[in-house]
Amino acid sequence: MELRKSWSWMWAPALLAAVVYAPVAGFDFVNYDDSSYFYENSRVLGGLTVENARWAFEIHGPSMWIPLTWLSHQAMVSLFGSDAGPHHVLNLVLHALNSALLALWLARAVGSRWLALGVASVFAVHPIHVESVAWVTERKDVLSMAFCLLALLAHERRARGGGWRWWVAMLVFHTLAVMAKPLAVTLPCVMLLLDACPYRRQLTKGVVAEKMPLLAVSALGSWLTVLCQTSMGAIASGDDFPLPMRLANAVVSYATYVRRLFLPDDLMVYYPYPDGVPAAMWIPALGLLAVVSWGVWRLRRAVPLAGIGWLWFLGTLVPMIGLVQAGGSAMANRYAYFTFIGLYLALFAGLAAAMKRWPEAKPYLAGAIGAAVVLLVGLGRHQVRVWRDSESLFRHALSVSETNHLAQNNLGLALMAKGRAVEARQHYLAALAANPGYVQALNNLGILEAESGRPGEAGQRFEEVVARQPDHAIAWHNLGKVRVELGFPDAARVAFRRAIELRPDFAMPRYDLAGLEISLGRWEESLVELDALIESVPDHANAWTNRGFVLAKLGRPAEAAAAYRRAEELGSSQARINLRLLSEETAPRGE
């Protein structure tokens, strides 16, 4: 059957993706970023509303400017609630769709169904992509990829002589891709590569000029993301990561990604940045990259797609390779989701050329490819199971590297959530042994002390955190709570106000400050804090309940009743009780 007569075959990679990722429907959230992106984010849990949609487009953390991804989370909450299952399923559906779209686009672009099937099948099941699919936080990966592939399909039609409507489609889909995840900013450069091969367009001024609006969108997305990351203090300074170290780590990371294409045996959710990158690591890595680059250059006429794929890989990794370091990770598997298409393309273009040159080897190569895909299905399913919950995820990371401080810390969090405080303490201490400056573990150790009835020790931990990192809003909030328990209200007030100053969007410090003022009978002061809290979080039921209580104390029963009714609308049972008591107290009495 000719290529254009049926496209049903393109769903085969999608089916493989479903086989590998089906278990995610029963998975939980994990305690690494899912809290800030989802289950502790009131703007997401509030569903898709006008106010929440407006927030999605604003400059804020936790990391990037991703309004389309925020809208997708909000819409899913409105439709299916906040249980993890449906949100995992949507990631799976998007990944399966991406696998099919990749097959469709490649078949149209290169004219080979089998090459397209090979690339898309490996993309569908390779374990390095599990992080992008099985992690709710990485909705941005799978959503952005869908629009990238739609943009590439529109670009293919435009490159084959299509009209301006296809250029408009390119621009629209690229814009949506950047709004889902700004790491799609390299897509216009990929299009220029594809213009050269396989589309064989002359890179005239017109061909380059049609990419300029797309590059402008990329520049805007990059700028907005830098603003978001700067607002959260996520961009590391040159003192923390000197340029020579970043360059050496980039070279080693490139080579490591290539190795993981063939040997994905050490996958972790977080790769700590090394203390140093010795020459014994970066020189061989640079040699590997040079040899591969030389090889694809030599084969540029015989196998031009190999060179295009290699340049795709090298170029699309540039924004994530750490030349501008954000956070403390040396590299990440999720960065392979778009970039590895280039490696797959280079690999299968080489295999196709080998089959053409040595036709007698074709059955053996085809058999080897089939066996490799089956093996990857097994490895992919194994890696998917790693993500079933936080404990499984971080125990796996520690099986790869016991000195992974983030894995030690987050495993401690998972164990603490299950009431296993003794084990959690061991992992927090192990995190601090691996990285003595890791304030998150120190803060969590303080929380453990507080919950174990040792507020004095907890206070010492939080004091140490804010001494090391004065802008740690959560630690200031925790310190305020401990000071309340220890009987130091003035010091607690200072800590709460510092937390609010650092994170105006952080509701709990203001709520606890209002509670402190209520406990001291400072009704006017508590009302000021409650009003400010309600202004930022209008659906905070407990704040409305407390506002009603304070207004009643101030002798304003009508306003108190209105506040209680609003709290009751938001689901507060205490407000219902308080409203009844208020009605009894203010009811006219017979003589």
Q: What is the pLDDT of residue 450?
A: 96
pLDDT above 60 (res 139): yes
Spatial distance between the Cα atoms of 125 and 378, rounded to a whole number of angstroms:
9
Nearest to 115 by CA among 129, 102, 124: 102
Question: Which of 147-156, 201-210, 542-551, 582-591 is predicted with the least confidence, judged by mean pLDDT?
Answer: 582-591
Q: What is the pLDDT of residue 326?
A: 73
pLDDT above 60 (res 437): yes
Q: What is the pLDDT of residue 398?
A: 98
Q: Which amino acid is at 181?
A: K
pLDDT above 60 (res 407): yes
Exposure class string for 480-493: b at 16+ Cβ within 10 A, else e: bbbbbeeeebebbb
pLDDT above 70 (res 236): no
Q: What is the pLDDT of residue 235?
A: 67
Nearest to 62 by CA among 235, 229, 221: 229
Cite the DSSP H helix spans in 435-572: 439-451, 455-468, 473-486, 489-502, 507-519, 523-536, 541-553, 557-569
Long-range contacts of 80-84 (CB under 8 A, 24+ apart): 82/38, 82/39, 82/45, 84/27, 84/28, 84/29, 84/136
Q: What is the pLDDT of residue 558?
A: 93
- How do residues 41-99 score in pLDDT, each as one tens digit? 989 999 999 999 999 999 887 879 999 999 999 999 999 999 999 999 999 999 999 99
DSSP string for 316-377: HTGGGSSSS-BSSBS--GGGHHHHHHHHHHHHHHHHHHHHHH-GGGHHHHHHHHHHHHHHHH
* pLDDT classification of 1: cutoffs 50, 70, 90: very low
pLDDT above 90 (res 252): yes
Residue 37: DSSP 8-state: I
DSSP string for 254-322: HHHHHHHHH---S--S--BPPS---HHHHHHHHHHHHHHHHHHHHTTTT-HHHHHHHHHHHHHTGGGSS
Residue 235: DSSP 8-state: B
pLDDT above 70 (res 234): no
Spatial distance between the Cα atoms of 54 and 57, rounded to a whole number of angstroms:
6
* pLDDT classification of 2: cutoffs 50, 70, 90: very low
pLDDT above 90 (res 5): no
The answer to whether 455 and 485 have CB atoms below 8 angstroms apart is yes
pLDDT above 90 (res 589): no
Spatial distance between the Cα atoms of 467 and 495, rounded to a whole number of angstroms:
13
Domains of the chain are 8-388 (no CATH), 453-501 (1.25.40.10), 504-586 (1.25.40.10)
- Mean of per-residue pLDDT scores for the chain: 94
User: Does residue 122 or residue 537 have the better pLDDT?
Assistant: 122
pLDDT above 50 (res 3): no
Spatial distance between the Cα atoms of 468 and 301, rounded to a whole number of angstroms:
57
Which strand (E) or helix (H) includes residue 393? helix 390-400
The answer to whether 268 and 401 have CB atoms below 8 angstroms apart is yes
Backbone angles phi, psi at 272, to 5 degrees: -60, 145
Q: What is the pLDDT of residue 325?
A: 72
Mean pLDDT of 206-235: 88
Spatial distance between the Cα atoms of 478 and 495, rounded to a whole number of angstroms:
8
Copy the structure tokens of residue 302.
């015989």
Spatial distance between the Cα atoms of 368 and 359, rounded to a whole number of angstroms:
15
Q: What is the pLDDT of residue 149?
A: 98
- How do residues 273-294 score in pLDDT, each as one tens digit? 998 899 999 999 999 999 999 9
Q: What is the pLDDT of residue 504?
A: 85
Q: What is the pLDDT of residue 42?
A: 83
* pLDDT classification of 229: cutoffs 50, 70, 90: confident
Cite the DSSP H helix spans in 452-488: 455-468, 473-486
Spatial distance between the Cα atoms of 73 and 62, rounded to a whole number of angstroms:
15
The answer to whether 338 and 145 have CB atoms below 8 angstroms apart is yes
pLDDT above 90 (res 459): yes
Q: What is the pLDDT of residue 238?
A: 62
The answer to whether 65 and 59 have CB atoms below 8 angstroms apart is yes
User: Does residue 61 or residue 581 have the better pLDDT?
Assistant: 581
- Give the count of alpha carbons within 13 A of 222, CB side only: 14
Q: What is the pLDDT of residue 253?
A: 97
Which position has the token pair 């607690």? 492
Copy the structure tokens of residue 359.
């036709």
Residues of the chain above pLDDT 90, percent: 86
